């Protein structure tokens, strides 16, 4: 199918596993033109959203298909740069040397980072008898660097007065594959807890303690199966495994992870990219201390050529993305995502229409 799957799961637009019901073509923003199937690869964080997008697209555009391979953001960007897929799914924007290589793949034109959906990241744990836990970014950083090793540590106890915290050892579970979620989580710790997280941030995990697992579903399953475990994973995957998400005190009181608190954080996000490159200023987001706001939110990008596709590929990519940005957003909240705010959607659609 023209996709190199690296231990991943391929999602096809068959309509059988979607979380939303496909509407008729008359309700669609898609043109239903161009290449079929179009191919993508990358982020597992957007796996459930992509399942929605591909299924809805096949429903509104009869005979059109999308094949998306879940292999991690780093692999997705690599396959896109190599010209093996039409777009990459990534939880981090493409940048620096890889952006230069992508421009070569795009016939000398820049690649654009287009955010399709936002997924709040839960700091999720498994601890018998503890269903209401408060952490701070600084304490989280100390847990994931191995400075705090038991659940009854004084730093945790001070945040949870009156709670009965066990002596259970803490087992951090991290992504072993190249992951945009790891990149964003480490960026969050750098921005929100700079004194305790002094490690580098990239798609590879730098923490050095705990146990690794592959993919978003992998870390969620590992955390669910390990007493005393803690992990960072998108809310939808935490919900699937019935993991408990910690409340986080970002500096203005403990905040529960909900669609409302995540949406409040997203409303403050600004763009760092130029023109139709819609890369976001995540440093400002992650450092936010606004009350009743949950800024630990992952922005999910589709990375595309601004120009340089052949005409059929350009039309197919545009048609699919227009569907995903509009009717494809329906039902995402039930899957643990925060659908695009209207202001984002307007700018995103302008960028999609500019692809050529």
The label of the residue with tokens 């493409």 reads 94
Is the predicted pLDDT of residue 199 greater than 50, yes or no?
yes
Q: Which has more pLDDT, 95 or 166?
A: 166
Query: What percent of the chain is modeled with pLDDT above 90?
Result: 71
The span from the CA of 352 to the CA of 317, in Å, is 9
Q: Do domains 9-119+270-282+297-353 and 121-265 have the same CATH topology?
A: yes
Q: How confident is the model at residue 12 (pLDDT cuts 50, 70, 90)?
A: low
Q: What is the mean pLDDT of residues 156-177?
A: 96
Query: What is the pLDDT at residue 31?
Result: 94
Query: What is the pLDDT at residue 5?
Result: 35
Two structure tokens written together for 174: 């991290």
* Residues belonging to the chain: 356
Domain range summary for the chain, segments of one domain joined by +: 9-119+270-282+297-353, 121-265
The label of the residue with tokens 């959203």 reads 49
Query: What percent of the chain is modeled with pLDDT above 70?
Result: 93
Strands 229-234 and 211-213: unpaired
Give tens-digit pLDDT for 90-128.
988 998 999 999 999 999 999 999 999 888 999 999 999
Query: What is the pLDDT at residue 297?
Result: 93
Report phi then psi at 342, rounded to 5: -60, -40
Query: What is the pLDDT at residue 203?
Result: 83
* DSSP assigned state of 241: T
Two structure tokens written together for 196: 């305790």
The span from the CA of 276 to the CA of 114, in Å, is 8
Query: What is the pLDDT at residue 20?
Result: 40
The span from the CA of 248 to the CA of 35, in Å, is 45
* Angle subtended at Cα 200 by Cα 199 and Cα 204, rounded to the nearest 5 degrees: 115
What top-level class would CATH report for the domain 9-119+270-282+297-353?
A: alpha beta
Work out whether the CA dihedral 265, 266, 268, 272 comes out positive or negative.
positive
Given 3-state DSSP classes, what are the helix, strand and coil percentages for the chain, each rounded to the nearest 5? 35, 20, 45
Does the domain spanning 121-265 belong to CATH 2.160.10.10?
no
Two structure tokens written together for 62: 């009869």
Q: Of the candidates 128, 120, 121, 297, which has an alpha carbon nearest to the alpha carbon of residue 229? A: 128
Two structure tokens written together for 147: 């400075």
Two structure tokens written together for 191: 């921005």
CB 227 within 8 A of CB 54: no
Q: How confident is the model at residue 9 (pLDDT cuts 50, 70, 90)?
A: low
């Amino acid at each position: 199918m023209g996709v190199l799957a690296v231990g991943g799961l391929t999602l096809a637009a068959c309509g059988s596993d979607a979380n939303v019901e496909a509407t008729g073509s008359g309700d669609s923003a898609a043109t239903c033109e161009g290449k079929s199937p179009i191919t993508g690869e990358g982020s597992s964080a957007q796996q459930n959203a992509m399942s929605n997008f591909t299924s809805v697209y096949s429903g509104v555009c009869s005979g059109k298909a999308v094949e998306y391979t879940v292999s991690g953001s780093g692999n997705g960007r690599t396959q896109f740069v190599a010209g093996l897929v039409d777009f990459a799914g990534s939880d981090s924007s493409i940048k620096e040397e890889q952006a230069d290589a992508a421009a070569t793949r795009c016939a000398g034109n820049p690649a654009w980072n287009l955010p399709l959906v936002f997924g709040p990241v839960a700091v999720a744990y498994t601890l018998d008898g503890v269903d209401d836990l408060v952490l701070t970014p600084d304490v989280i950083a100390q847990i994931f660097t191995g400075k705090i090793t038991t659940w009854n540590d004084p730093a945790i106890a001070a945040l949870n007065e009156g709670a009965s915290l066990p002596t259970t050892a803490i087992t951090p579970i991290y992504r072993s594959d190249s992951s945009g979620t790891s990149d964003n989580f480490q960026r969050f710790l750098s921005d929100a807890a700079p004194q305790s997280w002094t490690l580098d941030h990239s798609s590879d995990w730098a923490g050095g303690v705990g146990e690794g697992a592959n993919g978003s579903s992998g870390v969620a399953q590992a955390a669910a199966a390990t007493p005393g475990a803690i992990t960072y994973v998108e809310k939808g995957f935490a919900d699937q495994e019935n993991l408990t998400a910690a409340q986080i005190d970002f500096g203005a009181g403990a905040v529960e992870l909900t669609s409302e608190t995540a949406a409040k954080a997203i409303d403050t996000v600004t763009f760092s990219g130029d023109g139709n490159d819609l890369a976001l200023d995540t440093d400002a987001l992650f450092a936010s201390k606004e009350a009743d706001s949950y800024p630990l939110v992952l922005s999910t990008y589709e990375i595309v050529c601004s120009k340089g596709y052949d005409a059929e590929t350009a039309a197919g990519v545009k048609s699919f993305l227009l569907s995903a940005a509009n009717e494809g957003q329906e039902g995402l909240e039930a899957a643990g995502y925060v659908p695009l705010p209207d202001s984002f959607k307007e700018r995103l659609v302008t960028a999609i229409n500019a692809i050529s």
